[in-house]
Structure 1
Amino acid sequence: MRADKRPQPCDVTVYSDKGSLALRFPKRHNPLWEQLDGKPLNGKAKCLGIGKYGYKNNPEDWKRASQIAIALEADLDHPEWEKLFDPTLAKYGLGGGKYAKLADVLQLPGTVQAKPEITVGEMWEAYLEWKKPQLEETTYEFHYVSAFTNAIKGLVWDKTKREFISAKNSIWDKPLADNHCFVPLLQGSPRLISRVTAALSEAFLHLQSQGKTKITINPFIGAGTENKADKYKTTVTTEGVTKEWWEIDDIESNPEENDKRAFTREERDIIIKAFYESEKPATRLIGPLVEFLFLTGCRSGEAFALRWQDVFLGKHKNYIRFSKSYNGRLKNTQVTKTGEIRLFKIYPKLENLLLKIKPVDAKSTDLVFVNSAGTSYTSGLLYEKWVNSNTTKKGIKYDYPGVVTQLADTGVIGCCLSPYHTRHTFITLQAHAGTDLLLLATACGNSVEVIQRHYLGIDTEVEITDI
């Protein structure tokens, strides 16, 4: 097959043979390559494949290959080439082949071996140490340590296995390199990619400010420039899949927040009744918590942290103060997700529940909801009673479906949504019942825009008012 050639900007030429790009060096460089390869070239030009930079049909690959060729020739033809040329080729972004190990065994006369460029993972770990004091602990743990780090490592959540698995697109071990962009290697929603690359871009700039990299071009250029107009288009196409506006992710770190489905009023009542009437005492005990979540739409952590001193029952004071949230994973109590204190006006059905469960001797500092051990509930415990729990005995795994799973499996309700959907159910039912949207948004800690966008779908039973 005839080799594909294009106009060359230097004597180190780029060519394509059988679809793969390679470099061909002028014969004046033969003595160096003969020493590096340990064998004579017999008058032939040295050829070096650079396969990872792609194929002849991609103009961008030709451009990158040409830039590598120019950089190599500039170093090799420089009067002080011994100090500039990197025999491991890592400096040129080609450090993954056999020459990568030369730094351990070869020292050319007068050559100062180039220090390998820092990897994305090393940069990220240093960035996390610098960034941690600037963030709330939950934000740091869930976003940066978990969601963002998993994306960089190419890990995706497997809903069936309920664990992270490799998507084989990790950039963690890849060294930083000029004229290289890592963003296309990331997979996920536009929202996640935007947030991760914005953080990576900041990490690179921090690294650069410390003089710990020689890379001059930000490999994460363009990060954090999510187009907000595109975000609110009627449809968005990602990786060949077109989604409607209500399917577009808003908060990648919490998929359940994105899924705005809700139970019907009848399903809500069936679920509450099933918890109260369970044959298992621990499941019956959690019934008031489940009902409270359905009747307030608060986030589960806010209910876990709620104490009687935050519940004001009376003629002139009849509200709940949501000011804290308990995180079972971190085992600590912090401010609410939005960092604000919310006052939730108590209505009759909610008041009846609170009066029913409040102990006569309750202290103001006592938790409103406690498990059988007398401690705060956690999302994990709620999940077990709601969806399923499992145990292993003698090497055999046993699964025990939760209350809502059983109701869905037997067809009593339409499907098994997560405990977080108690929030979506409350907001949906209230919005469609005509509750003032500003009051509802303030009580639940979101915005009128979010309610209009995600919870108020077209109701065919509603008619235009005759005025």
Structure 2
Amino acid sequence: MVSQHKASKGTVQIKISNDRLQLVFSFGGKRHYLSTGFPDTKANRKLAEMKARQIELDILCNNFDITLGKYKPQSEQIIFTPSLTPVVETGASLADLWDSYTEYKRSSLSPSTLAKGYKSIYRCINVFLPIKTLDKAVAIRDWLIANKSPLSAKKTLTQFSACCNWAVKSQLIEDNPFEDMASDIKVPKGNFEETDINPFSVSERDRIIQAFKENRYYKHYAPLIEFLFITGCRPSEAVALQWKHIASDFTIIRLEQAVVLSLSGLICKPGLKTQKKRVFPINNRLAGLLKSIQPVDVSGETKVFPSPEGNWIDVHNLSKRAWKTVLKTLDSVEYRNLYQTRHTFITMALKNGVDVKDVATMVGNSPEIIYRHYAGQSRELFLPEF
């Protein structure tokens, strides 16, 4: 029911004004009256209720947008694009549906998924898309294909479709205009981080490690880069290591957590990408590296690879700044992303006769993945005399 009574502090009330649903609430000693732009229908009331809950939650979490821009209907926001004339939008707002869908999914999603996947979709809709209404779904698809990589366009359309499927089930819209659009986009092989395999040679690896050691600004990261090359560890797992994970006799490393980006910043979460935990054996070179960086007064909670400020290392920033900058200084070394340190280790292990199953166990992949993506590339074909 739409209330006509004054809302209590910290709550948002839904009223009708000029035949439109209106949100009424108090914040900072000021009374706010925010029109949703929606007529009073059953479906629109559900949208208004979700928007009201979002405002209440933001007030409670001290995340309230005092400009109210976050809560206004998209039809009130003017869109400027350099190459397109302003579009007069009609129909259901993709931005409003995505906000509601995110709130619905929030409790079931990990912080990293919310911060990376869902926040990137939010930015795509609210910052980049020149058209934001469901009646222009085909135009939205065409814009994504023209302005994003095939993989990114496919992922975005998949999310739009999932959002609209939820909206149909919630009786907010009648049908899903994005249904099956993603399946029409073909993604070229090699676009995935785990399967885009282009390893460094041994000499290239050693040059990169040495370049980090000699770099004036980024030598702090040299031990981490060497560790990545000689373990094949995923960067998110390496930066999450604490000294309690290193055996006191330097025989094994226990990998059981990863540093990920959440809505509140970098956090360390239990578990790895494909498993809960794994054990990695330490050889002489790795033992020497770890002993050389171990602090004198070390505790179990101390980070093995802290940032210069003593915090968790942001792998994204490391890749975009330190890694890219150092590799640019190396002539004749083709630029490849940081994840190729992992591919380099796996490829070298196979070339040196380590059994596929053992490699899979050490790096946290299945033997099938190793056979499919590495084993064929790592062997030189030989035709015997017969």
**Equivalent residue for 2:253?**
320
**In structure 2, distance between residues paired with 1:435 and 1:404:** 29
TM-score (norm 1): 0.55
Which of 193, 196, 213 pairs up with 1:259?
196
1:406 aligns with 2:343: no
Which of 138, 160, 165 pairs up with 1:200?
160
**Equivalent residue for 1:373?**
309
- Number of positions where the alignment pairs a residue of Structure 1 with one of Structure 2: 294
Instruction: Report the CA distance shift for 1:463/1:271 in structure 2 as closer, same or farther (over 3 A).
Output: same
Instruction: Report the CA distance shift for 1:218/1:308 in structure 2 as closer, same or farther (over 3 A).
Output: same
Root mean square deviation, CA, Å: 3.5
Which of 250, 274, 280 pairs up with 2:211?
274
**In structure 1, distance between residues paired with 2:140 and 2:214:** 54
Which of 339, 348, 351 pairs up with 1:420?
339
The residue type paired with residue 349 of structure 2 is: Q
Q: Is the 8 A contact 1:182 1:220 kept in 2?
A: no
**Equivalent residue for 1:87?**
none
Instruction: Report the CA distance shift for 1:381/1:192 in structure 2 as closer, same or farther (over 3 A).
Output: closer
Cα offset for 1:366? 1.0
**Equivalent residue for 1:124?**
98
Unaligned runs of 5+ in 1: 1-99, 102-115, 156-165, 228-236, 251-255, 389-402
**Equivalent residue for 2:77?**
none
Q: Is the 8 A contact 2:307 2:313 kept in 1?
A: yes
The residue type paired with residue 169 of structure 2 is: S
The residue type paired with residue 324 of structure 1 is: Q
Mapping of 1:27-42 within 5 angstroms? none
Q: Which SS does the other structure have where 1:359 is aligned?
A: coil
Which of 214, 218, 233 pairs up with 1:298?
233
Unaligned runs of 5+ in 2: 1-87
Q: Is the 8 A contact 1:181 1:221 kept in 2?
A: no
Cα offset for 1:122? 1.9
Q: Which SS does the other structure have where 2:268 is aligned?
A: strand
Instruction: Report the CA distance shift for 1:415/1:181 in structure 2 as closer, same or farther (over 3 A).
Output: closer
Mapping of 1:8-27 within 5 angstroms? none
Q: Is the 8 A contact 1:343 1:443 kept in 2?
A: yes
Cα offset for 1:367? 0.9
Percent identity between the aligned chains?
29
TM-score (norm 2): 0.65
Q: Which SS does the other structure have where 1:305 is aligned?
A: coil
**In structure 2, distance between residues paired with 1:464 and 1:311:** 45
The residue type paired with residue 168 of structure 2 is: Q
Cα offset for 1:175? 3.2
Mapping of 1:328-343 within 5 angstroms? 330-335=265-270, 336-338=272-274, 340-343=276-279
**In structure 2, distance between residues paired with 1:321 and 1:448:** 20
Which of 168, 178, 182 pairs up with 1:220?
178
> Once the two structures are superposed, what CA deviation does each residue of 1:386-440 show, in whole Å capped at 9, x if it has no partner?
223xxxxxxxxxxxxxx22101xxx2x4223232221221122223323222222
Cα offset for 1:226? 8.1
**In structure 1, distance between residues paired with 2:139 and 2:307:** 50
Cα offset for 1:267? 0.8
Instruction: Report the CA distance shift for 1:338/1:176 in structure 2 as closer, same or farther (over 3 A).
Output: farther
Q: Is the 8 A contact 1:275 1:284 kept in 2?
A: yes
Cα offset for 1:374? 3.0
Instruction: Report the CA distance shift for 1:270/1:222 in structure 2 as closer, same or farther (over 3 A).
Output: same
Q: Which SS does the other structure have where 2:219 is aligned?
A: helix
Q: Is the 8 A contact 1:119 1:172 kept in 2?
A: no
The residue type paired with residue 424 of structure 1 is: H
**In structure 2, distance between residues paired with 1:343 and 1:144:** 32
Instruction: Report the CA distance shift for 1:190/1:445 in structure 2 as closer, same or farther (over 3 A).
Output: farther
> Once the two structures are superposed, what CA deviation does each residue of 1:131-184 show, in whole Å capped at 9, x if it has no partner?
1221111122212221x445656x8xxxxxxxxxx5xxx37512348x979655
Q: Is the 8 A contact 1:320 1:344 kept in 2?
A: yes
Mapping of 1:52-91 within 5 angstroms? none
Cα offset for 1:449? 3.5
**In structure 1, distance between residues paired with 2:283 and 2:383:** 28
**In structure 2, distance between residues paired with 1:289 and 1:299:** 11
The residue type paired with residue 209 of structure 2 is: I
Instruction: Report the CA distance shift for 1:381/1:180 in structure 2 as closer, same or farther (over 3 A).
Output: closer
